[in-house]
A and B are shown apart, each in its own frame.
Chain A
Amino acid sequence: SSELTQDPAVSVALGQTIRITCQGDSLRTYYANWYQQKPGQAPILVIYSKNNRPSGIPDRFSGSSSGNTASLTITGAQAEDEADYYCNSRDDSGNHYVFGTGTKVTVL
């Protein structure tokens, strides 16, 4: 199996840019997806297949990848972006999935 590691918590000033990273060996082979989860709510997909946004997701959310690291960037963070963010991808076998450890984003 594989692990995806994220920073536990990051903060950003309102309107500034934040980058959240996700590291894991399987990311050299498979794309990452990103999810936003607010307290008491189900996760919402915000980026899929490295840098694609589902309908309804603001264009301030973008994704990228290099080597074993995937990144989610929020350009011009808004108060409503305060949430937990998780990456996920397949594991090394390709048959299982794994979620990152999660990053709590605080908008100051």
Chain B
Amino acid sequence: EVQLVESGGGLVQPGGSLTLSCAASGFSFSSHSMNWVRQAPGKGLEWISYISRDSSSIYYADSVRGRFTISRDSAKNSLYLLMNSLRADDTAVYYCARQFDDWGQGTLVTVSS
């Protein structure tokens, strides 16, 4: 069974940083591309970043490019999202997704003073 478990969310002040993790199990992590998707409270889904199986291709949405960094560690079966210069409009539930087939339950990031 595919399992994706996000962690690292919490309350952070504007301008601060946070790193999200996604622990993957139940599938060959190194064989699949991964994505981060977020959902602001009461809003729709927003794709924010993609990383290929071997990290050779990485893409970001315009809204986070230059501030967020996606990475993965196949030895640890884990996906990461380093978030810098956080703003109030980054407040959202952040989901990791195996391609877009399977999703974790999400972790809430709140940016507020």
A interface vs B, CB < 8 Å? 1, 33, 35, 37, 41-45, 48, 54, 84, 86, 88, 95-102
Contact = CB atoms under 8 A, between A and B. Distances in A.
B100 A45 contact: yes
Residue from B35, B37, B45, B95 whose CB has the most chain A CB atoms within 10 Å: B45
B44 interface: yes
Contacts, number: 49
Nearest to B106: A42
A48 B101 contact: yes
Contacts of B61: 96
A85 B29 CA distance: 27
Contacts of A1: 62
| The 9 nearest A-B residue pairs measured at CB | A97-B47, A99-B45, A42-B103, A102-B44, A95-B59, A42-B105, A86-B45, A45-B101, A43-B103
B35 to A, nearest CB: 7
A44 B103 contact: yes
Interface of B: 35, 37, 44-47, 50, 57, 59, 61-62, 95, 100-106
Contacts of B46: 99
16 contacts: A1-B62, A35-B45, A42-B106, A43-B95, A43-B103, A44-B103, A84-B44, A86-B44, A86-B45, A88-B47, A88-B100, A95-B50, A95-B59, A96-B59, A97-B35, A99-B47
Nearest to A1: B62
Nearest to A44: B103
Contacts of A45: 100-102
